[in-house]
Amino acid sequence: MEYKIALLPGDGIGPEVAKQAVNVLESVGKAFGHTFTFEEGLVGAIAIDKTGNPLPDETIKICLRGDAVLFGAIGDPKYDTNPDAKVRPEQGLLKLRKSLGLYTNVRPVKAYPTLLDKSPLKRNRIEGADMLIYRELTGGIYFGEKHLSEDGKQASDLCSYSEEEISRIARMAFEAAKLRRKKVTLVDKANVLETSRLWRRVVTKIAKEEYPQIELDFLFVDNAAMQMILDPRQFDVILTENMFGDIISDEASVIGGSIGLLASASIGDEHGLFEPIHGSYPQAKGKNIANPIASILSAALLLDYLGLNEEGNAVREAVDIALANGVVTSDLDEHSTYGTKAVGDYISVLIQSAEELVVNLNHQNISLGQSTII
């Protein structure tokens, strides 16, 4: 099979980790008889520097004609430290989500057995933790009407949601739960916010009428943040709105011991974008020290999205072997001599011998709408 991938390396360490993900996909192609072609586009700070626009129209066209989008990272200190900047790299990602209709972000969070001691949380709290976070991406306060008074002393951001926006991601979360431990936790602030009360009404109705076999419970976002630390193993599928999901999912990243391990998928009805969650990490740019595993695992999610579940499992199995054998970057082992490229090369070589790998780990099925992720 032939697949066209839109490649958006972005800023900071984005190009370095994305390159390793590309190498992994090419190894998958060799091992399983597929052809992946990549068309590169500008996004973020580098796009601003070259075109004045964080998301040029040509980049959108590249993404629309691709089978999936592989994303690196965006962000640059010269924009982060300038509150008066009118154009910012992050605007490119927000616009891209809107342009592609990517209304759902899926973030798997797992405590790897070989890395339990790397987490700041105690082993007995995180061992066995395995959750999916479903975050709504195109509504809420990030996209609501914004106002700044003429004197600059008063500002407001409108948080708005519709029943349609809530129901479409809710059904995806329930479908995922069907293939896992059959539990969905809605995280909201229904004791204060009218939008959260709408979320509760819509999600409760869908659960009762369409998914009676799924357990549904509720947590206010402040309590959910606390429970994430006290006992993350209680969570199976978390469903939440845009801003709460942004915060909760980053908090969950500490469970695995390094933000450099966490992949994500942003999907809609017709398109999918896959990216690590760690950001551009400009301090590590060009030093060959960035952890490429989150980007590689994002490539595994991309494969699942394309319906290549065996191939995605081969990537995850290779990552598990690398972790077990200590082939990791210094964020996971301060004594490691492996750099970004070495870790990526090791995983790629394992995948090229995919027929010799025994994919025997207990991978859970999770629905991504178009296909199934395992």
φ, ψ at 85 (rounded to 5°): -65, 125
Report d(CA 305, CA 141) in Å as an integer. Answer: 28
Tokens (6 digits) for 239: 């469903």
3-state secondary structure of 232: helix
Catalytic residue among 11, 103, 161, 189: 189
Short-list 356, 263, 343, CA closest to 305 = 263
Catalytic residue among 57, 217, 222, 269: 222
Q: Exposed, middle or buried: residue 208 (CB in 10 Å: 0-12, 13-18, 19+)?
A: exposed
Q: Are 177 and 236 in contact (CB under 8 A)?
A: yes
Strand partners, 219: 187
49 is known as an active-site residue: no
189 is known as an active-site residue: yes
Report d(CA 23, CA 90) in Å as an integer. Answer: 26
Q: How many CB atoms lie within 10 A of CB 283?
A: 11
Short-list 216, 265, 278, CA closest to 373 = 265
- In which residue are the tokens 């994919």 written? 359
161 is known as an active-site residue: no
78 is known as an active-site residue: no
Catalytic residue among 142, 161, 211, 346: 142
**Cα→Cα distances 207→104, 174, 224, 373, Å:** 18, 8, 20, 22
Q: Between β-strands 183-188 and 215-220, what pairing exists: parallel, antiparallel or unpaired?
A: parallel
Short-list 106, 188, 97, 100, CA closest to 143 = 97
222 is known as an active-site residue: yes
Report d(CA 71, CA 94) in Å as an integer. Answer: 13
Report d(CA 369, CA 111) in Å as an integer. Answer: 25
Catalytic residue among 67, 80, 130, 250: 250
Report d(CA 265, CA 274) in Å as an integer. Answer: 5
- List the catalytic residues: 142, 189, 222, 246, 250
